Structures are given as C-alpha cells and as structure tokens.
C-alpha cells in the first residue's frame, strides 16, 4: 500500500452495459471514493462503442474498459478490471478467497455466466417466431441493431485499416437483415430455430448456476468476485424480460417456459438474490433493474 493511495483510473462505462456493472459494483464494494477515479460514458445504444477513438482504447469495442497511468495498456475485460480494482485497493478483504477450493468456485461461477450460451442478447435481440420478432421490432432492440449498423458502416468506411469493422459489420448485418426485411424467409426460420435452441441452453445454464451456488452468497459466507459478475448478468436478464421490481423473476420464467415448459428458477438462486440484493453496493447500483 503506497502513502499516496491507489493509482487514479478512468472507467469507460455505459448505463446500458451489463458488464460495466462488474466494476461499478466492485468500486462500491471495495469502498473507492469518487475522487479516486473518473467515469467516461460511452454510448452503447447508439453504437459509439465502435468509434475509432474508443476502439483505440478497446480493440473489441466492448464496454467496460479501464485505463490508468499505472497500467501499460487498458484493461478491456470486466474480469481483469475487477482484479485490478480488488488488488489496488487496500480497504476491506479481497474479493478472491484465499482458500483454493473457494477460489476455484469463484472462478467457475465467473466463467459460467460469461459463456456465450448465457448471453443476455438472447433475451434482448433474439426471437423464436414472427410474433416475438414483431414485438422486438417495435422495441428499442430495432433502434439498437440499426444504429450499430449505421455506425459500423460509417466508421469502417473511413477507417478500413481497423479489422474490427469488417467482422462486426458482417455479424450485426445478419441481425439488421432479420430486423429490416418485411417478409419472413429461410434466414428468419433459421433465426427462430437458433433462438428456440438458445432458450433451452439458457434454461440449462440457469439450472446449472442454481446447483453451483453455495449461499448465503454465490461462493459461500462472504461476498466475492463471483457475486460481482452474476448480479449484473441476472439483473440484465430479468430486466430484459420485462421485470420491474428487483425480485421479479416471473417475466423471465414465463419467457423461458415457452421453450422449456417445466422451467422454474431454483430456490438457491432466489435465496442468493435476496441476500445479495440486501447489500449496500447492490442498492447503490440497482435502485431498479437494468
Ligand atoms: N468479455 C467482455 C464482454 C463485454 C461486453 O460484451 N460488453 C457489452 C456491453 S455489456 C458490449 O460492449 N457490447 C458491444 C458489442 O460487442 O457490440 C467483458 O466481460 O468485459
């Protein structure tokens, strides 16, 4: 611990980013003071995460990122940012248990919720049939997809040397096509089928999470880095399904039931959520679901 305190840092974040709330929760859990860091908002909804300026900081164009004069290069993964914040602040116990078994549990839980099959984009952007797609087209999802495509094309045209634009324009372009063509064709049918499978995988992932949780917190008797990752993921999924109150599991349960009729949130998941949502860092960052 230095006399001057931990090095100052800048967190690049967006209110709309679930993973940005890993560092936000950590900042509060570890007791950082606002004078110790700067916050820069990056527009995720309007595709500003793809601006050449931001891509220089984070070549993946993802949020969050953290920069500090003490770092050789920006940190561009929420798991690395959490570790940095944890190790650079002396206050309070580490969010990583010393006990190797507990530590392994923490790492497993973090990896679990970051799996592609558990991406909340399933809930926010996918659709299992024409009716679900119409609802998505009438929601912010369509603006999101379209603004991104417009920004990717614009930035890609003026910065052909940046490889990210080619891959992301192609990837988002598939969604753009699904959202903007009026007729339902074979690509839509494939999209619906992929989404139906996606919900089955998502349900399986939630069941696996339920059996992995220890209690009262995710990895045992203390709040750990695992809680800092699972909270933003589940909060975003509950919100994406239309949940309003913090403990509103019902809308997501119903959404999943359409593909997995016997799906129910596990009791351990609900107990864990009750416990973690009573903490100060949770209250500060989640006055409502987002
Ligand atoms: N593995 C990264 C994922 C970050 C991520 O995907 N962030 C989302 C917002 S929550 C994002 O920036 N998406 C923009 C995109 O990939 O298009 C992390 O954990 O930091």
- Cβ of 75 closer than 6 Å to ligand 1, yes or no, is no
State the number of CA atoms in the 13 A half-sphere of 180 facing the CB: 13
Residue 17 Cα: closest atom of ligand 1: 10
Give pLDDT, residue 4.
63
Of the candidates 178, 122, 114, the residue with the CA atom closest to the CA atom of residue 145: 178
pLDDT band at 240 (very low <50, low <70, confident <90, very high): very high
- Cβ of 58 closer than 6 Å to ligand 1, yes or no, is no
What are the residue boundaries of the structural domains of the chain, listed by start?
9-87
- Cβ of 17 closer than 6 Å to ligand 1, yes or no, is yes
Give pLDDT, residue 3.
47
Give pLDDT, residue 89.
80
Instruction: Tell me the per-residue pLDDT of 62-87, one tens digit each, with 9 for 90 and over.
Output: 999 999 999 999 999 999 999 999 99
- Average per-residue pLDDT for the chain: 96
Give pLDDT, residue 199.
98
- Cβ of 149 closer than 6 Å to ligand 1, yes or no, is no
**Taking the domain 9-87, which CATH number applies?**
3.40.30.10
Sheet with 37-41: list strands edge to edge: 37-41, 9-13, 65-67
Q: Give the 3-state secondary structure of residue 37.
A: strand
What is the spatial distance between Cα 23 and Cα 21, in angstroms, rounded to a whole number?
A: 5
Q: Atom 16 (ligand 1): residue with closest C-alpha?
A: 62
Q: Give the 3-state secondary structure of residue 39.
A: strand
Residue 237 has pLDDT above 70, yes or no: yes
- Cβ of 147 closer than 6 Å to ligand 1, yes or no, is no
């Amino acid at each position: 611990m230095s006399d001057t305190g931990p090095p100052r840092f800048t967190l690049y974040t967006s209110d709309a980013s679930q993973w940005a709330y890993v560092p936000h929760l950590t900042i509060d859990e570890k007791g950082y003071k606002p004078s110790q860091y700067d916050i820069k908002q990056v527009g995720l909804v309007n595709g500003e995460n793809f601006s050449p300026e931001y891509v220089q900081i984070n070549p993946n164009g993802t949020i969050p990122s953290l920069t500090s004069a003490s770092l050789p290069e920006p940190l561009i993964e929420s798991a690395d940012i959490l570790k940095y914040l944890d190790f650079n602040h002396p206050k309070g116990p580490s969010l990583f248990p010393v006990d190797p078994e507990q530590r392994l549990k923490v790492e497993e839980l973090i990896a679990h919720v970051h799996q592609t099959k558990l991406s909340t984009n399933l809930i926010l952007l996918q659709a299992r049939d024409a009716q679900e797609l119409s609802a998505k087209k009438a929601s912010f999802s369509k603006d999101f997809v379209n603004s991104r495509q417009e920004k990717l094309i614009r930035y890609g045209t003026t910065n052909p040397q940046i490889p990210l634009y080619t891959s992301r324009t192609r990837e988002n372009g598939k969604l753009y096509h699904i959202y903007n063509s009026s007729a339902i064709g074979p690509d839509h049918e494939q999209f619906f089928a992929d989404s139906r499978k996606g919900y089955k995988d998502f349900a399986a992932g939630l069941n696996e999470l339920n059996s992995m949780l220890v209690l009262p917190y995710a990895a045992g008797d203390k709040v750990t880095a695992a809680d800092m990752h699972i909270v933003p993921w589940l909060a975003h999924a509950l919100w994406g399904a239309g949940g309003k109150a913090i403990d509103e599991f019902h809308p997501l349960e119903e959404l999943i039931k359409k593909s997995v009729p016997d799906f129910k949130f596990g009791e351990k998941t609900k107990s864990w959520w009750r416990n973690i949502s009573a903490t100060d860092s949770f209250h500060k960052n989640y006055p409502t679901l987002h």
